[in-house]
Amino acid sequence: MTHAPKPLIARRSGALSGHIRVPGDKSISHRALMLGGVAVGETEIHGLLEGEDVLATAAAMRALGAEIERGADGVWHVWGVGVGGLTEPAQVLDMGNSGTSTRLLAGLLATHPLTAFLTGDGSLVRRPMARVTEPLSRMGASFVARRGERLPLAVIGTDRPVPITYEVPVASAQVKSAVLLAGLNTPGRTTVIERSPTRDYTETMLRHFGAEVRVERADGGGHAISLTGQPELTGRTVQVPGDISSAAFAIVAALIRPDSDLVVERVGMNPRRTGLIDTLIEMGGSIEILNPREEAGEPVADLRVRGSALKGIDVPPERAPSMIDEYPVLAVAAACAEGTTRMLGVGELRVKESDRLAMMADGLAACGARVEAGEETLTVHGTGRPPAGGATVATALDNRIAMSFLVLGLATDAPVAVDDARPIETSFPDFAGLMNGIGARIEDATDTDGAGA
């Protein structure tokens, strides 16, 4: 990230139209680099997200011994060290803003006989790590962290890993993945029980690279996912679809601008990620799923979105894992809808890149919307018209807060500014350029007085 904050301002735009593609899926990109890094032979990754979070994973995997190169054609190549072959990094691993890099790597490293030090930016060092250090300690690793189990974190990997059966206490793909990745270099079977389904890319990709992963119904509900340890993984080709969490911003922007007609192509449609699409359709959004197909084992589709009159609904808590990163932009859609939208069971939003419940409640209120945040809920009272706007919102190192408020500003009478758009680089490089290409008006605000200008 560059040193100076980068304020941006969004002004009310006309209809959004055209065909776009958003950058590659972040979750798949991280996993492709990590598994490529512990496979034998060459892995080729097409469509890797070249955002800062994923680049942090690439840098860490290099520091641990994998060879990683980007070809001139944009295809990434990884030559792995084999399961158990990672070597101790000489330097502290800086994971930047990325919780996924940190938690998944903590898993991978926990069962290697090495010591590694992980740190991150002002957002990441506030995020809880006990959710991974607790199960990984049971497998034999030790950790030294700041109070509250926060970064910087020393991972002291074990040379005598033991397989565990672990029931994940919060719905979290990161925790599930950390334990499974630790299970890679552990003899015997490592099992994770998850009661509510979360994104399953780790399981799918482990199989793709040659591991044996079994998924069975668990007693008492949910699934038991078990991995046979110490497989030989072989380098593979990975095709990364467009990230539905990035597409979400263009989709909501098109819905809230009348007469919009936008096609977002080649969006990853894994059913464990599509909760936002279901929700927006329930709210009356016109979203057509065109040309559904499978690409390299993952469902993808083109989404045609038209400007729509939205109405408020209740979003049930069991839907949260399938749209966990989309609540900020859903709150923007809700602020432009008619009636009340209640987002239930969303307490996890308090421990994302920022406290997203507080950030959305404060920012929307500053823009003139009526909104209440509870411990685990967010309620937005829409009037059928976008709120007034006219505020500058703090982004607190949170990419999705920044993009959500810039989308809101495309619909409000007065513009909406964000104090710092640099965090957008973590997940959606060239967000403003892509949006402006379909008719948005997102501009540099360095030379203006912010939203009042």
CA proximity to 86, closest of 70, 105, 117, 109: 109
Stretch that binds ligand S3P, among 66-74, 168-176, 290-298, 337-345 (CB under 6 A): 168-176
Active site positions, annotated: 325
Helix or strand run (H / E) with residue 340: strand 338-343
* Rounded CA separation 54/238 (Å): 15
* Rounded CA separation 288/310 (Å): 15
Residue among 350 and 370 whose Cβ is closer to ligand S3P: 350
Residue in 173, 179, 267, 371 binding ligand S3P, rule: CB under 6 A: 173
Cβ 325 to ligand S3P shortest distance, Å: 5
Residue among 95 and 369 whose Cβ is closer to ligand S3P: 95
Residue in 9, 49, 324, 380 binding ligand S3P, rule: CB under 6 A: 324
CA proximity to 28, closest of 247, 234, 296: 296
Contact call for residue 100 and ligand S3P (CB under 6 A):
yes
Cβ 252 to ligand S3P shortest distance, Å: 18
Stretch that binds ligand S3P, among 170-178, 226-234, 358-366, 383-391 (CB under 6 A): 170-178
Q: What is the DSSP string of 414-450?
A: B-EEES--GGGGGT-TTHHHHHHHTT-EEEE-TTS-G
Q: How far is CA 99 from CA 35, 121, 207, 374, in A?
A: 17, 10, 24, 24
Contact call for residue 325 and ligand S3P (CB under 6 A):
yes
Contact call for residue 27 and ligand S3P (CB under 6 A):
yes
Residue whose CB is nearest to ligand S3P in the complex, by number: 27
* Rounded CA separation 130/220 (Å): 25
Using CB under 6 A, which residues numbered 232 to 271 contact ligand S3P?
A: none
Cβ 447 to ligand S3P shortest distance, Å: 33
Give, in degrees to the nearest 5, the angle at Cα 176 between 167 and 157: 100
Residue among 102 and 308 whose Cβ is closer to ligand S3P: 102
Cβ 219 to ligand S3P shortest distance, Å: 24
* Rounded CA separation 205/191 (Å): 16
Residue among 199 and 306 whose Cβ is closer to ligand S3P: 199
* Rounded CA separation 404/418 (Å): 10
Describe the chain by its helix, strand, coil percentages, rounded to 5. Answer: 35, 30, 40
Residue in 29, 101, 172, 270 binding ligand S3P, rule: CB under 6 A: 172
What residues contact residue 447 under an 8 Å CB cut-off, 6+ apart? none
Cβ 351 to ligand S3P shortest distance, Å: 8
CA proximity to 192, closest of 167, 229, 155, 160: 167
Residue among 95 and 336 whose Cβ is closer to ligand S3P: 95
| Other Cβ atoms closer than 10 A to 439 | 18
Stretch that binds ligand S3P, among 173-181, 257-265, 329-337, 442-450 (CB under 6 A): 173-181
Strands 76-79 and 42-46: antiparallel
Residue among 106 and 367 whose Cβ is closer to ligand S3P: 106
Residue among 330 and 411 whose Cβ is closer to ligand S3P: 330
Count of residues engaged in binding ligand S3P, rule: CB under 6 A: 10
Q: What is the largest CA-CA distance in the chain?
A: 63
Stretch that binds ligand S3P, among 63-71, 171-179, 336-344, 436-444 (CB under 6 A): 171-179
Contact call for residue 177 and ligand S3P (CB under 6 A):
yes
Residue among 174 and 341 whose Cβ is closer to ligand S3P: 174
Using CB under 6 A, which residues numbered 328 to 367 contact ligand S3P?
A: 348
Q: How far is CA 182 from CA 29, 105, 157, 164, 441, in A?
A: 19, 9, 10, 10, 46
- Contact residues for ligand S3P, defined by CB under 6 A: 27, 100, 172-174, 177, 199, 324-325, 348
